[in-house]
């Protein structure tokens, strides 16, 4: 039996692959060459046209502009994209419309355009409140510039703001991270995403660690930072609802929930990924390929795959356990004709004894204690 997917709703992710400069930890597809911006948006509009059947068929409930740095480009480009989507979908069911911004790339005029075109959620890349850490990461802003941007966003009237934090960074002490948490709590954002640093081979950071210029993050310190984060945010009414995400009640990311619940989402733009009608696809990562393929009136897809039953099961467990609510193993048993508890009995007994998971007569979830080693727990259960 195939995985049941909500066939009515659709999320849209739009990739804007431009940055002012490249952070040392970033392995996302982005460039600092801004001369391509105008041409890129011209072709992005053409790509949207190729999905008019999908846009006509679904209720679009979330839109997310990610990058890169979407706030680097003129706000009128973002407006053009939305107007193009509106040709095929009136967006009357739109619940959440997010744009990622970085301090140093926004001003009042841009923020007012965002407000005018219906954006109702802003995600700001802060990463740290420590200026030395920000400089080491290659961020283009300091904490004071971040505060200016944050206050401007609030002044224009946005009441759903998410901040990004990073921990487990080279040269970062637990005291530094605690100070960042405290300052963020005082700012009172509606949502906080906090990520442990992952060192990717393609990044400048990897080379600096390899050469011994920067020290590789310490696993125990990383775990202590994460546990501190859970405690402090929990004390201040931020609910941990997914391994890396905390929100005030009612401000969970609706767009990201589409990913985690494995509902349909359209990926548009260079290197974007989508999942529609149980098919997963990824766009090409080269500008030249992107332009050439669209010139041939073809979708710029590099790879597409049907998701088999085994992969559906794997993803449902893996993504479901990332959420604090966990998985409904009774539903999983029915969908896939398995006995999840019986198949993983030994691992489940051990994890229950260690208080890493909890369960009732239909659901299983990772405890707050287990969240810091969630990857290990998930691996044992898939």
Q: In terms of pLDDT, which residue wins out, 197 or 326?
A: 326
- The whole-number average pLDDT for the span 124-143 is 93
pLDDT above 70 (res 365): yes
Per-chain mean pLDDT for the chain: 93
Report pLDDT for 2: 40
How many Cα atoms are found within 13 Å in the side-chain-facing hemisphere of 158?
33
pLDDT above 60 (res 5): no
Give 104's pLDDT tier (boundaries 50, 70, 90): confident
- The whole-number average pLDDT for the span 21-47 is 90
pLDDT above 70 (res 77): yes
Report pLDDT for 30: 85
Give 200's pLDDT tier (boundaries 50, 70, 90): confident
Report pLDDT for 1: 35
pLDDT above 50 (res 301): yes
Report pLDDT for 369: 87
Give 4's pLDDT tier (boundaries 50, 70, 90): very low
pLDDT above 70 (res 350): yes
Report pLDDT for 190: 98
- The whole-number average pLDDT for the span 331-353 is 94
- The whole-number average pLDDT for the span 277-293 is 96
Say if domain 309-380 classifies as CATH 1.10.10.920: yes
Do 77 and 37 meet the contact criterion of CB atoms below 8 Å apart? yes
CA-based end-to-end distance of the chain: 18
- The whole-number average pLDDT for the span 25-53 is 93
Q: Is the dihedral of CA 87, 16, 50, 267 positive or negative?
A: negative
Return the minimum-mean-pLDDT range out of 16-25, 79-88, 114-123, 268-277: 16-25
Sorted by sequence, the CB contacts under 8 Å of residue 198 that are 6+ apart come out as 25
* Residue among 158, 118, 155, 126 nearest 251 (CA): 158
Output the CA–CA distances (angstroms, integers) from residue 263 to 8, 123, 275, in the order listed: 9, 22, 8
Report how far residue 217's alpha carbon sits from residue 31's, in angstroms, rounded to the nearest whole number: 27
Report how far residue 9's alpha carbon sits from residue 7's, in angstroms, rounded to the nearest whole number: 6
| pTM for the predicted model, two decimal places | 0.93
Stated length of the chain:
382
Q: Where are the domains of the chain?
A: 9-260, 309-380
Do 115 and 154 meet the contact criterion of CB atoms below 8 Å apart? no
- The whole-number average pLDDT for the span 240-255 is 97
Report pLDDT for 7: 59
In degrees to the nearest 10, what's the CA dihedral of 287, 78, 273, 104? Answer: 80
Report how far residue 382's alpha carbon sits from residue 315's, in angstroms, rounded to the nearest whole number: 9
Biggest alpha carbon–alpha carbon distance for the chain: 59
Tell me which residue has tokens 């969240």: 371
Report how far residue 229's alpha carbon sits from residue 243's, in angstroms, rounded to the nearest whole number: 11
Using a pLDDT cut of 70, give the percent of the chain over it.
98
Would you tell me how many other CB atoms lie within 10 Å of the CB of residue 72?
Answer: 22
Q: Which runs of consecutive H residues, i.e. helices, occur in the chain?
A: 37-50, 52-57, 75-86, 108-116, 131-137, 143-156, 174-187, 204-210, 219-235, 254-260, 287-295, 309-322, 329-336, 340-343, 345-353, 368-371, 374-380
- The whole-number average pLDDT for the span 79-98 is 97
Q: Is the dihedral of CA 91, 284, 260, 227 positive or negative?
A: negative
Report how far residue 98's alpha carbon sits from residue 161's, in angstroms, rounded to the nearest whole number: 9
pLDDT above 80 (res 6): no
CATH class of 9-260: alpha beta
């Amino acid at each position: 039996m195939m995985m049941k997917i909500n066939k009515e709703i659709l999320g849209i992710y739009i990739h804007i692959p431009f940055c002012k400069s490249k952070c040392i930890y970033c392995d996302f597809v982005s460039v600092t060459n801004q001369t391509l911006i105008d041409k890129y948006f011209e072709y992005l509009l053409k790509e949207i046209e190729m999905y008019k059947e999908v846009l006509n068929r679904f209720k679009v409930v979330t839109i997310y502009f990610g990058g890169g740095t979407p706030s680097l480009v003129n706000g009128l480009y973002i407006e053009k994209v939305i107007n193009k989507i509106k040709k095929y979908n009136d967006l009357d069911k739109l619940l959440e419309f997010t744009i990622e911004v970085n301090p140093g790339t926004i001003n009042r005029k841009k923020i007012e355009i965002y407000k005018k075109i219906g954006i109702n959620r802003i995600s700001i890349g802060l990463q740290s409140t420590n200026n030395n850490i920000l400089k080491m990461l290659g961020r283009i802003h300091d904490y004071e510039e971040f505060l200016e941007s944050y206050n401007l966003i609030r002044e224009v009237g946005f009441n759903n703001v998410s901040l990004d934090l990073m921990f487990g960074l080279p040269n970062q002490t637990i005291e530094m991270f605690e100070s960042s948490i405290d300052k963020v709590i005082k700012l009172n954002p509606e949502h906080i995403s906090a990520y442990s640093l992952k060192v990717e081979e393609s990044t400048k950071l990897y080379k600096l660690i390899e050469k011994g210029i920067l020290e590789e993050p310490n696993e125990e310190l990383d775990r202590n930072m994460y546990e501190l984060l859970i405690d402090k945010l929990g004390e201040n009414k931020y609910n941990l609802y997914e391994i890396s995400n905390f929100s005030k009640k009612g401000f969970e990311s609706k767009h990201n929930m589409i990913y985690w619940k494995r509902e349909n989402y359209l990926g548009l733009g260079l290197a974007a990924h989508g999942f529609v009608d149980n098919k997963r696809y990824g766009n090409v990562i080269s500008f030249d390929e992107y332009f050439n393929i669209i010139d041939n009136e073809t979708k710029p897809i590099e790879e597409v795959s049907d998701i088999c039953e085994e992969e559906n099961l794997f993803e449902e467990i893996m993504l479901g356990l990332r959420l604090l609510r966990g998985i409904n193993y009774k539903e999983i048993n029915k969908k896939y004709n398995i006995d999840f508890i019986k198949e993983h009995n030994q691992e489940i007994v051990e994890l229950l004894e260690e208080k890493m998971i909890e369960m009732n007569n239909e659901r299983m979830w990772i405890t707050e204690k287990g969240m810091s080693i969630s990857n290990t727990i998930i691996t044992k259960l898939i």
